[in-house]
Structure 1
């Protein structure tokens, strides 16, 4: 049996520290090696305990969690799961945490903290476990990704050709751990003429809307939450709403969305597999499937089915993945036509549709 993953909990609330300690300790593969009531004590414990992953509160005395996260990532990058309250400022803090290098974010209830965290126990354990295996980008790597994010080069003629493709084309993307950063880097550079894009990202449901707004702000595409019965439009991307599966349906010649609250698949709702399987059945060889970084196997079976139905499929490679779980599973199931780095994905998408427009 592999060794337990070492967890350090930094939170100024004694109740939260106790609840998070119990939740993580109840998992057979996690070990809480220490707790700290503030960032300065936490820093000393990082040096002595050498944790695999840290849970870090946002709102703390002496030094707030975001300031500490920024300093940590510049000096000693470690996997961090931020614990942020669900408020407007909390959502902003969650997005800022991703930008600074946090692996994931968990919602911290503002009232009845112990009971609220206990209700999220399974989600917390999944996120902490996944983060403990994550490859953490250095400050230089994050700077390079942001500074080199130039829009994909595409001529006016190519834009016109892509824009004239049949309305049956659709792109489906799935991501989990490390996905918010990966999706941001992709959406920042894609042209607006592309076919509609459907996205499932495993993220705390209460932060989904803020993440959607962030993608929309930084992209040429119009990014919105998927809604029941929505007709897909070129130049638009649809993010699965929190705690609902998002599926593609064919209505005559039109492609529409439907939402469902049915059981979790691969422990997730929304599930990448549910989206990919619906796209395979509804769009067939007009579909493109892309599976990005993430822990577990969600999306692997669906990507393989898409490929079987004639779709063009991509998996993110190991070197650029934060966690090479979902892409690895897809590759093992022969679900990927190509395995490429995150930086190569936007150009690959555009080049694919340029070729399609010439056929």
Structure 2
């Protein structure tokens, strides 16, 4: 089996060193080159082209966003953005995701070495996910651990919400409908493609997109400027109503609740579920229990299986369920696992999903 070849482009020697050391412990990945800025990287690309790039945003001579666009124009290749947690970094990272970046590695200003060492499992997972990305789909949508290998226990949605499969059947005292969407790798582009095609008055939507803190607010703000619907990061107690889409904040779980005949969201902390926070499974389970057949569940592109069990619970509770078809997925992981479990009622390509959302609410 061929190793995944990685190039690291970052002006911090410490970042290059620590990420290289983390990768060296993973036998399926190798670093073939590092560079302190994109100009040096371009010279090294003449000898060998990687399978995955890890690219800093702020660098001398050429910034990471410009370099990303050059890669996408010349030879589309998965790019993971290594971004600061600062607000400025978050804004530029949103532009990078829109331009075709696959994933984000965040880094703080302080205690960088310790943070990167502790995050080595996440870095390795991000690289493996990026290496599986369907760049044809990406291009079509963009127009262009101290013990590094120790795996954290994989919590289920039980950690946040007990399974009560038949509860929803007793709670249909409303005709209000709700759409729940879960996605991960490639989801920023997929959500833009779906939400930007919906009319202003569309059934209320709740969304989990795997994304770090700070970035979800910037992502929601960006989508809000592109869409007819109002899109914003969810706050605890927000009511779900037509014309509004709520995105779960990074670092917090989001669950659907009922207040009389109205839906609202509960946003709170908790353990990682399926190694994610927010988790799609947590959202989908809550929707199954609270909305049942009044809900539409959609699982789209993403690595892993978060959301697969929750979508099955939604379908068992009477909800309509859709999985994104492999042909349009950047990574056909989450929809595939949901399909295998029997949670997907129908598989549809991305361009047909907006029509289904509109039809569900009419």
TM-score, normalised with respect to structure 2:
0.87
Match of 1:154 in 2: none
Matched, 1:203 2:203: no
Q: How is 1:1-359 mapped onto 2 (pairs within 5 angstroms)? A: 2-137=1-136, 141-142=140-141, 168-354=176-362
Shift of 1:5: 1.9
**Alignment size in residue pairs:** 333
Match of 1:162 in 2: none
2-structure distance, mates of 1:54, 1:140: 16
* Alpha-carbon spacing, 1:216–1:93, altered in 2? closer, same or farther (3 Å): same
Does the 8 A contact of 1:245 with 1:274 survive in 2?
yes
Unaligned runs of 5+ in 2: 145-173
Match of 1:152 in 2: none
After alignment, is 173-182 or 91-100 more displaced? Answer: 91-100
1-structure distance, mates of 2:290, 2:137: 41
2-structure distance, mates of 1:83, 1:137: 23
Does the 8 A contact of 1:107 with 1:206 survive in 2?
no
2-structure distance, mates of 1:227, 1:300: 25
TM-score, normalised with respect to structure 1:
0.88
Shift of 1:139: 8.3
What SS does the aligned partner of 1:189 have?
Answer: coil
Deviations 1:128-163 (A, max 9, x none): 221111111478623669xxxxxxxxxxxxxxxxxx
1-structure distance, mates of 2:352, 2:281: 23
Does the 8 A contact of 2:138 with 2:186 survive in 1?
no
Does the 8 A contact of 2:179 with 2:357 survive in 1?
no
Unaligned runs of 5+ in 1: 146-165, 355-359
Does the 8 A contact of 1:174 with 1:299 survive in 2?
yes
* Alpha-carbon spacing, 1:314–1:138, altered in 2? closer, same or farther (3 Å): closer
Shift of 1:98: 1.1
What SS does the aligned partner of 1:48 have?
Answer: coil
* Alpha-carbon spacing, 1:144–1:10, altered in 2? closer, same or farther (3 Å): closer
What SS does the aligned partner of 1:339 have?
Answer: strand
2-structure distance, mates of 1:331, 1:270: 22
What is the aligned-residue RMSD (CA, Å)?
1.9
Structure 1 moving runs of 4+ over 6 Å: none
Does the 8 A contact of 1:167 with 1:195 survive in 2?
no
2-structure distance, mates of 1:86, 1:263: 21
2-structure distance, mates of 1:126, 1:228: 30
